[in-house]
Structure 1
Amino acid sequence: MKSNQQKNRSISTFLGNNNILLLVPNGLPSHTNKEDQHSLTDLGFVLAQQLQSYAVINNKYKKTLIDLTDMQAVKTRKKVTDTFLVHIKRFTDEILENDMAPLVLIVQVADTTLPQGKHILFGYGQGERGVPEKPHNPTISPSQISRYRVAIEDQGITTDLAPPGSIYCGHSPDHLNQLYRQKNYLEGFYNTNVSSILLTLAPELVREKGLAEHTAEKLWRAMQQFQQKMPLVRKVQLKSIETQKEEDLQYIFRIHNDAQYDELTRESYIDELAGSIEKNGLLHPLVLLRKNDGYYKILCGFRRFQAAKRIGRVWIEAKIFQERDFTTEDFFNISLAENTKRRNLNPVEIGNFLDTASDTMHLNNTMLAEKFGETLGIGAPGQKVSHTTIHKYRKVNQIRTRNESPEIINDVINEKLQFSIAAEILAPIKDPHDRDSLYLEIIKPLAPTRPQLQSILTLLKERETGLSKAIAHKDVQLLLTKAMDTPQKAATFIRLMQQKGTQSAVTNQKQFTKKITKIRQQYFGRHTSKKDFNLTPDSGTANGELTLNLRINQKNYHEMLDKVSRLLHQEDLFTE
């Protein structure tokens, strides 16, 4: 991660697990001389990771372009304010909201070698009393500074206090070190409960990447004893929770923010939940993951998050995990357990869970059944879930992901359509037009039983090759209209279709008989009977086969066979 951060020139942010906020305002070297180059950003990334502290690290702007320790310069550039100061305030507020005193460590590198061979100078606003040009604006108690110095020197790093009023003590009212001490300076920052220290490092400590990381390790060992650990369940700002990117929704299996499926958002449910939170507070905290970009993503509680936003909440309680704390499978199981505590997943959400788990962990249906089948509770009691059951849930969800048949998905969610019919009859239909026609014009208005639906499908397929074409046929539409006016709609429709089929068969038989009579007279003579020559449809086959009856004897068989041969070459017996 460190190398990736270094390649991506940006102001990087990290969420923490304690009261320390690490700031590296000028992480890039200012000089082009290779001997003056340093790897302060490497130190910052390693130290933030080891301390598990909040951090804002400038790896984008060189000090020669803008000095981010100078608040007057920062305030004049909104983009810099939004990417630097806003995050500092967000992190500080979170520490304070959880009843802890923030400890802000501002780390910079000296332009030249430090005096008397010291490695680190400590600045806490120690100017000279009574000297306006060098105001004395302490940002932490000297006794606390002494404890930090002892801990760092125990790691073999020599320290000293910056000379009063020097550029390394952070005494200027416009200095980043004074951010929390100046009233009416930057709105919302003034807070005497925040302690701030400016650490100026000798260039040799960060001369190259390896040295910078080694220094970070020493600072971590020294400072970890002073951190106050955050509780597992803490307050976070809703604006620190991201839900816009696809990866932020990785563990959210409730259907959400899908314009095609209005009913899926369950607006009434969100309103009811929002009212409950406003009246009784949040009974169950969210479960969040700390990401590597300074924000959280939701593991469990997306609807509680939506409800809290709806009533204008700024803070919300959440149980916090780090992504590296567990495996991906662990997070899927945690999310599944949390999501099914209060309300089971509906069939489409189960399919969404299975598809996401399959894509993320590269699992086939058999593996999904083994890992999650029992927890999902989708199989028969006491029996293992089969891979075919998993397949059914995924097939229904894929109707949604392909943006097909939204009414089918809505009705499955709202329990207006049996999942078995959706999974076993509708989902296997490849053409969405056929699927929609069958559901909207047959299943939904007629409400057939499973056997009735199978009969209807058989009757429709006998008429046309495509379901939508068969249903749109004027005869079928007329029969549907008649059936809808009866108490037993499905049964009436089947009966009418069967009658229509029988009538068609009788009509076709009459037409065929008339055609064969004409052929018999043309090829074999007007007085030839059916016993001499006849063709009849074979009702026992499904391929439109014909049975030939031909009476021959020793004298006429050459002539009769010749006539049959000419007949077969000249007549199309399979058309009306």
Structure 2
Amino acid sequence: MSRPEFSIVRLDCIADARRWNIHPFLGVEFPVSLSQSIGKTGILHPPLLLELADGGFEIIDGRKRLQAARKILALNECPCLVVPLATPPQDVLSFLLASQGCCAPLSPMETAYFLKICGDYLTSEEIAQLFLFSLTGRNSISLLARYNRLLTLEYSLQNHVHHRFISEVLAFELLRLKADDRIQLADLFSDFQMGGGKQRRFFSLARDIAMRRETSITAILALPPLQEILQHRQMNAPQKVQNLLAILQQMATPSVYGDDQSFKVRVSALALPPSCTVVHSQAFETDEVCLSIKFENFKQLRMASAALLEMLKNVGVSDK
């Protein structure tokens, strides 16, 4: 394997080829953090280039860094690592993986695009042997089709998966939906900055309701009760998420919601002091209820224990 060599390369000799690009979903926007870092310290990680037969070069890795060299540092040339001409594709891919993975493991989207590029030059068996285990911890060829499915996501969703805002597991669930539904859900997740747990709960409720009503998630989210919350001007984002989930839960389990409201009315009628809490069984699966009494300290509990035991005995809860 011929190693890349350090060289100063004129920027006008570098072609912005896309065949090695594992970030097509990022677009032309320049990250503020990278801009600040390069403006302060320069380019510490040289871009990786492939030498071409015509004397030029094409980008393997470091597209944003080269963009910064032009626009931020105003350079005409840049220090780069150059992969020699006629290097075998599998070696170029190894250099790309090493360059991209030197700071952090590849994201699910980076992995998907890397494997796609591998498929242009290698057989499935060769990909599994050379790269799959280091990328995923497994060398099963079936993973190739799995990651290829991520490439069918819209670029906006690919961006979320790349930055791990949407998990890889949830991404595959979103792929089961129609494009309009998954885009709207992803937009809601982003607008309200929902964490992974709330994303999964919101997705499950919305999907189940839509399936039960034989309609789309987009249609469910357009219903007046949900739109009223989405358009509310006084609620902040966490409050909106909490209320949206509450309404979706009510829509998903209307009987449980009705029972819960009735239970609250009956508990309220007991006029118990604030130190007492009454809860029902999970989803009203049984008739059992639990009464909790909060005491200021153990002494207070001990003083009340005799009366409590007598009362429990009288109502048949205790045989002591």
Displacement of 1:349 after TM fit? 2.1
**Matches of residues 544-555 of structure 1 in structure 2 within 5 Å?**
none
Q: For residue 273 of structure 2, what is the aligned residue in structure 1?
A: none
Q: For residue 164 of structure 2, what is the aligned residue in structure 1?
A: 415
Closer, same or farther in 2 for the Cα pair 1:387/1:469, shift >3 Å? farther
Match status 1:427 vs 2:188? no
Match status 1:450 vs 2:189? no
Q: Name the CA distance, whole Å, in 2 between partners of 1:256 and 1:346.
A: 13
Q: Which structure carries more helix by proportion? A: 2
Q: For residue 152 of structure 2, what is the aligned residue in structure 1?
A: 398
Displacement of 1:327 after TM fit? 1.4
Q: For residue 90 of structure 2, what is the aligned residue in structure 1?
A: 329
CA contact (8 A) 1:443 1:453 kept: no
Closer, same or farther in 2 for the Cα pair 1:443/1:315, shift >3 Å? closer
Displacement of 1:390 after TM fit? 4.0
Q: For residue 275 of structure 1, what is the aligned residue in structure 2?
A: 40
Closer, same or farther in 2 for the Cα pair 1:470/1:314, shift >3 Å? same
CA contact (8 A) 2:13 2:56 kept: yes
Partner deviation per Cα, 1:41-75 (whole Å, 9 max, x = no partner): xxxxxxxxxxxxxxxxxxxxxxxxxxxxxxxxxxx
Match status 1:373 vs 2:132? yes
Partner deviation per Cα, 1:389-444 (whole Å, 9 max, x = no partner): 44443323332xxxx362x233333332223212x211232x31121123334786
Partner deviation per Cα, 1:305-342 (whole Å, 9 max, x = no partner): 22222212222223333331x21111111111122112
CA contact (8 A) 1:486 1:492 kept: no
Q: Percent identity?
A: 20
Q: For residue 543 of structure 1, what is the aligned residue in structure 2?
A: none
Q: Name the CA distance, whole Å, in 1 between partners of 2:94 and 2:26.
A: 23
Displacement of 1:464 after TM fit? 2.9
What SS does the aligned partner of 1:320 have? strand
State which of 314, 321, 326 in structure 1 corresponds to 2:76. Answer: 314
Q: Name the CA distance, whole Å, in 2 between partners of 1:501 and 1:362.
A: 56
CA contact (8 A) 2:26 2:159 kept: no
Closer, same or farther in 2 for the Cα pair 1:303/1:344, shift >3 Å? farther
Q: For residue 233 of structure 1, what is the aligned residue in structure 2?
A: 6
Q: Name the CA distance, whole Å, in 2 between partners of 1:455 and 1:421.
A: 14
Q: Name the CA distance, whole Å, in 2 between partners of 1:405 and 1:323.
A: 33
Query: What is the aligned residue count?
Result: 247
Q: For residue 466 of structure 1, what is the aligned residue in structure 2?
A: 216
CA contact (8 A) 1:240 1:296 kept: yes
CA contact (8 A) 2:83 2:92 kept: no
CA contact (8 A) 1:235 1:315 kept: yes
Q: Name the CA distance, whole Å, in 1 between partners of 2:255 and 2:190.
A: 21
TM-score (norm. length: structure 2): 0.63
Letter in 2 for 1:465: T
CA contact (8 A) 2:61 2:96 kept: yes
CA contact (8 A) 1:270 1:303 kept: no
What SS does the aligned partner of 1:317 have? strand
Whose Rg is larger? 1
**Matches of residues 153-172 of structure 1 in structure 2 within 5 Å?**
none
Q: Name the CA distance, whole Å, in 1 between partners of 2:185 and 2:255.
A: 19
Displacement of 1:269 after TM fit? 1.1
CA contact (8 A) 2:10 2:77 kept: yes
Q: Which runs of 4+ in 1 moved over 6 A?
A: 479-484, 501-504
Partner deviation per Cα, 1:256-277 (whole Å, 9 max, x = no partner): 7725xx4xx4243144224311
User: Gaps spanning 5+ residues in structure 2: where?
Assistant: 259-320
Letter in 2 for 1:251: W
Higher RCO (CA 8 Å, separation ≥ 6 residues): 2
Closer, same or farther in 2 for the Cα pair 1:485/1:270, shift >3 Å? closer
Partner deviation per Cα, 1:462-513 (whole Å, 9 max, x = no partner): 1233332333234554587799747844652343213547899xxxxxxxxx
Letter in 2 for 1:398: T
Letter in 1 for 2:34: Y
Q: Name the CA distance, whole Å, in 1 between partners of 2:36 and 2:106.
A: 19
What SS does the aligned partner of 1:411 have? helix
What SS does the aligned partner of 1:375 have? helix
What SS does the aligned partner of 1:298 have? strand
Q: For residue 246 of structure 2, what is the aligned residue in structure 1?
A: 492
Displacement of 1:373 after TM fit? 1.8
Q: Name the CA distance, whole Å, in 2 between partners of 1:479 and 1:498.
A: 18
CA contact (8 A) 1:235 1:318 kept: yes
Q: For residue 252 of structure 1, what is the aligned residue in structure 2?
A: 21
Closer, same or farther in 2 for the Cα pair 1:439/1:493, shift >3 Å? farther
User: Gaps spanning 5+ residues in structure 1: where?
Assistant: 1-230, 505-576
What SS does the aligned partner of 1:342 have? coil
CA contact (8 A) 1:286 1:318 kept: yes
What SS does the aligned partner of 2:9 have? strand
Displacement of 1:288 after TM fit? 2.2
Match status 1:342 vs 2:91? no
CA contact (8 A) 2:161 2:167 kept: yes
Q: For residue 300 of structure 1, what is the aligned residue in structure 2?
A: 61
Partner deviation per Cα, 1:143-184 (whole Å, 9 max, x = no partner): xxxxxxxxxxxxxxxxxxxxxxxxxxxxxxxxxxxxxxxxxx
CA contact (8 A) 2:50 2:59 kept: yes
**Matches of residues 107-256 of structure 1 in structure 2 within 5 Å?**
232-243=5-16, 248-255=17-24
Partner deviation per Cα, 1:74-133 (whole Å, 9 max, x = no partner): xxxxxxxxxxxxxxxxxxxxxxxxxxxxxxxxxxxxxxxxxxxxxxxxxxxxxxxxxxxx
Q: Name the CA distance, whole Å, in 1 between partners of 2:221 and 2:25.
A: 33
Closer, same or farther in 2 for the Cα pair 1:370/1:478, shift >3 Å? farther
